[in-house]
Chain A
Amino acid sequence: MKAFIVPWLREADPRALAVVRLILFGYAWPGFRFGSKASFAEFEGVSWRPIGIPALLQVPLLSPAGLDIVGVLITFTTGFALLGFGYRLTAPLAAFLKLYASWVVQSSGKVNHGGLLFTLVLFVIAFSHAADAWAVDAFLRRRKGFPRPGPSAEYHWPVHFIALLCVTMYGAAGLTKLGVSGPEWALGDGLIIRLISHHFTHQPPTRLGVWLADYRLVCRVLASASLCLELASPLALWNRSVYRTVLPCLALLQLMIWLTLGVRFREMVATFACLLPWGALIARLDALRSTWVARERERLRAAT
């Protein structure tokens, strides 16, 4: 239990969380293109059927004009959240509006599981203190005389929560494979068939899959390894070494899925980018800057 809780209490630099905010809201910002969801409203009762928890809660589908307004609000709220302006209001609003817009699309015949995680990740960052650095809000607070915030667990838990969402998704995917297909999923020829058949039905960017498919044993080892990786991924929440091994391996798995099968879970790129060690990078840059400033001071002192 302690091993599960301790990582949530680690301290992090507010700028590291600001980077995560920039990545996520930068990806979520749709630009000034409005109304792309409004057209789904025309298909209500035909191909548009409400799904999931919003359907149970009887969340209504807005009219095309209402969805247009949602589109405009998403542009402005995600834009403001990206800049860290009025973050406490704009970021949660952006997360809820994106969730609603995503539900409108997902209720139209097909669920995009890759995008599902990203929708949830936005909620984590929206309810965090991600605008305490490199943000308009932070700038305004400093002008009012508030000090720069120091490292705190407030700036670490959101990243750990995102990692939890990520490994839970992979863990669930592994369990589902085992439940639906059993060990045959890893020990049979499923991966070989999939690697080849995707070249018939998709457009993988490389022929790596075709080449791999010639080696039955290698494919079985790869399938077993990927299934074990998925099943074991939640262990990353209990152990830092496992975390540092599992997360890069999951990112590599995702990359291989794209290279061999031609399936891009684009939102996962943004999600994995959040899990990079931004704090360590910022600390390294700080150290380099301090060294450079000290050296410059020394040089000026010597010159005068």
Chain B
Amino acid sequence: MVLAWAVAFMVLTLFEVVTQREDWPLSPYPMYATLPPRVATRTVLVGVSAKGEFPLQSQHTAPYAGSRLLATSRQLLKTPARAREFVRLIGERYERKRVAKDWPQLQAIRAYSEEWQVRAGLQGIERPKRSFAAALYIPPPVLVGRLRAEAAGTAAPLAPVVVPRGDRVFELDARSCEGGCAAESERYASGGVALSLAGQGGEGSASLRFSVEPGSYAVFVRMKVGSVSTLAELELELDGESVGETQGFGNYLAALPSTAWVWASRAPGLRAARLEIRDSGEHVLTLSSGRGVLVDQLWLSRTTAELPLDNASRLP
């Protein structure tokens, strides 16, 4: 009997090897069977809070951690809907433990790929080629609740939040309007007034003249769409030139499907779009859209590149 089991195990394992199947708990044991590439790659996952990126530890993402988390992330990136659900579950589990463990609020997980040319003597080990691989946004539960209440009209307007020193906030009012733009009264807009940028197939734009200290600024716009079927997209130009990394600027609906006010920049989960201001003279920032989008404030930040966790308007 024992011998029969032993021989059966050997024969079945040989079958797995020949067919290269993996019928757990049987296996062809393919560990390190392939020839390694001359480029060593590693995926690094980081958490994102409102203050920026922080290293993700296994306790943050339990039960997924280490190589299991990386392997799962790689598989899930091929199926965005499942990836979103996975990150939502990780986020929920994180949130349940967050307060007790004094962890920062997690609003996204980002993956970076690090690459090295494999060279003798570990040359270049300190300088991997690091590139952004993917980001998965985790909608903050409090924000989601707030957006639902606002969309239903049951929320009281929030008090404005003062931005840190060095940041600038600009109100978008009727003076900023150009073609296809109109000022509208809006209950949850800053000061009760918002600019409506076009709609019905027309393009609308608003321009803002400003001067700030030279430097690099993350740019956020407070905006709202009339319907979740609208493609919420804005175009951003600085001094008549399209800002390079702002493709899909303001497109937040996939992550936060709601007809309420949000702070938007590049797609949620990504670092905010940046404006490089080279001199302290006057600049013109133009926002335009053909999608029927409402906007009320523009926030240039030197202190954060991440979306805020709330949707309150800002005060300088």
A interface residue numbers (CB < 8 A to B):
5, 8, 36-37, 39-40, 42-43, 46-47, 51-54, 56, 99, 102-103, 105-106, 108-111, 113, 116, 119-120, 157, 161, 164-165, 168-173, 175-177, 179-181, 184-185, 188, 190, 193-194, 196-197, 199-201, 210, 213-214, 234
Enumerate the 6 nearest inter-chain pairs by beta-carbon distance, A residue then B residue, closest first. A52-B24, A109-B72, A197-B40, A200-B40, A173-B29, A110-B71
B75 touches A54 (CB 8 A): no
On chain A, the residues within 8 Å of B2 by CB distance are 8, 157, 161
Question: Closest B-chain residue to A169, C-beta based?
Answer: B29
B26 close to A (CB within 8 Å): yes
Can you name 12 A-B pairs with beta carbons within 8 Å?
A53-B26, A56-B23, A108-B72, A109-B72, A110-B67, A113-B29, A181-B35, A193-B118, A197-B118, A199-B122, A199-B125, A210-B121
On chain B, the residues within 8 Å of A103 by CB distance are 24-25
* Given A168-B9, A181-B35, residue A200 in contact with residue B68 (CB < 8 A): no
A99 touches B27 (CB 8 A): no
* Given A119-B25, A196-B118, residue A201 in contact with residue B41 (CB < 8 A): yes
B86 close to A (CB within 8 Å): yes
B25's partner among A53, A56, A105, A214 (CB-CB below 8 A) is A53
A36 touches B33 (CB 8 A): no
On chain B, the residues within 8 Å of A37 by CB distance are 63
Question: Closest A-chain residue to B128, C-beta based?
Answer: A200
A234 touches B10 (CB 8 A): yes
- CB 8 Å contact bits of B4-48 with A (1 = contact, 0 = none): 011001100110110010111111111111111110111000000
Bound Cα distance from A52 to B17, whole angstroms: 15
**Nearest-Cβ distance from residue B6 to partner chain A, whole angstroms:** 5
B85 close to A (CB within 8 Å): yes
B85 touches A46 (CB 8 A): yes
For B, the interface residue count at a CB cutoff of 8 angstroms equals 53
A109 touches B38 (CB 8 A): no
Bound Cα distance from A53 to B25, whole angstroms: 7
Bound Cα distance from A169 to B13, whole angstroms: 8
Bound Cα distance from A113 to B68, whole angstroms: 13
Bound Cα distance from A105 to B116, whole angstroms: 31
B38's partner among A51, A119, A184, A193 (CB-CB below 8 A) is A193
B interface residue numbers (CB < 8 A to A):
2-3, 5-6, 9-10, 13-14, 16-17, 20, 22-38, 40-42, 62-64, 67-68, 71-72, 75-76, 82, 85-86, 89, 93, 116, 118-122, 125, 128
B86 touches A46 (CB 8 A): yes
On chain A, the residues within 8 Å of B9 by CB distance are 120, 164-165, 168
B29 touches A5 (CB 8 A): no
B128 touches A185 (CB 8 A): no
**Nearest-Cβ distance from residue B216 to partner chain A, whole angstroms:** 31
On chain A, the residues within 8 Å of B35 by CB distance are 181, 184-185, 188, 190
On chain B, the residues within 8 Å of A199 by CB distance are 122, 125
A173's partner among B33, B75, B128 (CB-CB below 8 A) is B33
Bound Cα distance from A230 to B78, whole angstroms: 36
B24's partner among A106, A175, A180 (CB-CB below 8 A) is A106
On chain B, the residues within 8 Å of A53 by CB distance are 23-26
**Nearest-Cβ distance from residue B114 to partner chain A, whole angstroms:** 8
**Nearest-Cβ distance from residue A13 to partner chain B, whole angstroms:** 19
B86 touches A179 (CB 8 A): no
Bound Cα distance from A20 to B102, whole angstroms: 44
